[in-house]
A and B are shown apart, each in its own frame.
Chain A
Amino acid sequence: MSVSEYRQQEAAIDLSPAGQQLAERAPDQELMTLNIGPHHPATHGVLRLLVTLEGEVVRDLKPIIGYVHTGIEKTCEDKAYWKVIPVIERMDYLAYYFNAMAFCGAVETLLEVDVPPRAQYLRVIHLELNRIMSHLVWLGTSMLDLGAISMFWYAFRERERILDLFEQSSGQRMHTRYIQVGGVMEDIPAGFAEKVREFCAIMPSRVDQYEAILDRNEIVLQRLRHVCPLDAETLLGLGVTGPLLRAAGVPWDLRKADPYSSYDHFDFAVPVGTVGDNYDRYRVRMAEMRESVKIVEQALDGLPEGPHVTSDRKVALPPRHELSTSMEALIHHFKLVTEGFRVPPGEIYFPIESPRGELGCFVRSDGSSKPARVHMRDPSFVNLQAVAPMAKDAYIADLIATLAMLDPILGGIDR
């Protein structure tokens, strides 16, 4: 049999129960329940799936989560607003700037402080670098799941360069607590802008490299094209946002729809897919990496001068040199470090666009220096509900590919 005939035969297989003419289950056709996880190399974190299989076809799927539930939201109620930032960063552990941004945005809205334009641009630079880094880890690990093991090293090579940039600006590779209420922690050091420009100069060619390896690869196409598509209406009903929704054709991106932190100053496109299958999800993220590079370059070009944090001394620490000359600065410093600033009572929900979708932070303050409730609306938590309809009537290998393309981060799901 020739290859094309074989492929035609393959394509003609219909896995749905009706397609297989299963009117009544024969006694030898049982459903098997398989427990995948929580410790399994192909789940992205400790996700447990109870899969009902008929042969190798998935008939039903139940995700069980909570294996990395850390009680972050409860811990935050116990800490001053400043001290919440390192705790809340560790939630969605690949998008740490985004966690901090959502929380700081919510607190700034409650406090009604203005973030200076330089701080907004610096935030955008770091957020977009973090987006590229998150997509790189997604690329490396999901291609690892599919079997293209060498992609892992290529993706992590670029990730190391981005982590070097983070280390240069804040001193830490991960969980940098760079974004603070009112601005950013520190102004960027000398040489940072040049290093970022160097990175932006080579990144598009690296994305070209990844695409050259993967885009038209026979195995990637077979495993991702027309695999587990889901229409936009179901996704909208499930509350799915982010690259999954954009791959299905809905151009909803909070950076464009509801800009925050000067995103409206930048000119970039939002990649949107057509079919909504795994291949579109993969392509949308690759294109997003390119767009993020453009945003970073524009932000560097237009970086305004000015303070890196709000000058409201009741919210942000005064610069250290003032502490030796001004008594007021000393008092503010003391109050901020010991008790922290007080936030007027109110509730606010502040959404931003994280690499996985809409990351929202709900903060309720009761007038004291500690938040009364912090809730992070994590995109992966809501997106996970889409796995069951996606993987229904697909092979179990397709389920693994779909999980990879879903990009779940269990730290965010479980909080």
Chain B
Amino acid sequence: MEIVRREPAGPPAPGASAPDDFRARQLRARDMLRGDLEGADLDRFVEESVLTTTLDKALNWARSNALFPATFGLACCAIEMMSIVAARVDVARFGFEAFRASPRQADLLIISGRVSIKMAPVVRRIYDQMLEPKWAIAMGACSSSMGVFNNYAIVPADKFMPVDVHVPGCPPRPEALMHGVLKLQKMIQGHADEGWRTRYGGRGTEELIVPEAAAGTAVGASPPGDTAGA
């Protein structure tokens, strides 16, 4: 058996140089630090060692690979969402095993489970509390459409909040949810970041609270010790 050695064609790719180029690169790096590189040498150095891209692309690449999902398990789909954190379908490979409890620290809301009419304002409030940029995945049939139940008690998530990816299934397999999340990753990488209002035409729906009207209407306050006013 003979070993065929192939000579590399053209200039070596950055980081893939043969060992004898290493000394040359070291010297060039030293010259760079000293400010001695000029002209064509400088151009070549920059080409070899610096990745150029637009700021948007870099930001979107970083955002998509480090999504922090909010812990938002509602019903059966939540169990399959827990499965993607488990060892078989390991979501840590893609960078989002850190489920954040606080919506202020999360940028992905996975609505896993059926949204009842009592829960819908709560979901919307959590979504509003998340900081831009934020995305939402409607996991399962119940949150995308009404699912198995089409009755008085459920509302599909699209009625009250914008959803980026719908993952069908009842419940979707963990692999299906992973597919949905990876699709969302591609979406984030592909589009420059916009707020959800730009993405889904929600301009004109911002709420302005006039200062006089806000006095005396602190939402959700209850006097201490009063548990009966639920």
Q: A residues bordering B, Cβ < 8 Å? A: 30-33, 38-41, 45-46, 50, 52, 60, 62, 64, 66-72, 74-75, 86-87, 90, 93-94, 137, 140-141, 152-153, 156-157, 159-160, 173-175, 410-411, 414
Contact = CB atoms under 8 A, between A and B. Distances in A.
Nearest to A40: B101
A40 to B, nearest CB: 7
17 contacts: A32-B225, A33-B222, A39-B72, A46-B119, A67-B118, A74-B151, A74-B152, A75-B148, A75-B150, A87-B148, A90-B75, A156-B82, A156-B83, A160-B83, A174-B79, A174-B171, A414-B116
Contact of A50 (B74, B101, B154, B227): B227
Contacts of A62: 227-228, 230
Nearest to A83: B148
Nearest to A72: B149
Contact of A33 (B74, B116, B226): B226
Contacts of A33: 222, 224-227
Interface residues of B, number: 41
A50 B225 CA distance: 10
Contacts of B87: 153, 156-157, 160
A219 B61 CA distance: 41
Contacts of A410: 75
Contacts of A38: 119, 122
Contact of A70 (B149, B173, B225): B149
Contact of B154 (A45, A66, A70, A86): A70
B192 interface: no
A68 B122 contact: no
Given A69-B116, A175-B171, A39 B151 contact: no
Interface string B116-153: 10110010001000000000000000000000111111
Sorted from nearest, which 8 A-B pairs have the closest CB atoms? A156-B86, A71-B153, A93-B76, A31-B225, A41-B101, A71-B151, A67-B119, A50-B227
A150 B148 CA distance: 34
Nearest to A174: B171
Given A39-B126, A50-B227, A411-B76, A69 B118 contact: yes
A67 B73 CA distance: 12
A68 B79 contact: no
B114 A70 contact: yes
Contact of B227 (A45, A60, A67, A90): A60
Interface string B204-230: 000000000000000000101111101
Contact of B80 (A46, A141, A157, A174): A174
A118 B97 CA distance: 43
A52 B74 contact: no
Contacts of A72: 149
B75 A411 contact: yes
Contacts of B119: 38, 46, 67-68
A39 B149 CA distance: 23
Interface string B149-179: 1111110000000000000001101000000
Interface string B90-105: 0000000000010100
Contacts of B86: 152-153, 156-157, 159-160
Nearest to A42: B101
Task: With a 10 A CB-CB cut-off, give which of A46, A67, A157 has the most chain B CB atoms.
Answer: A46
A68 B225 contact: no
B224 A31 contact: yes
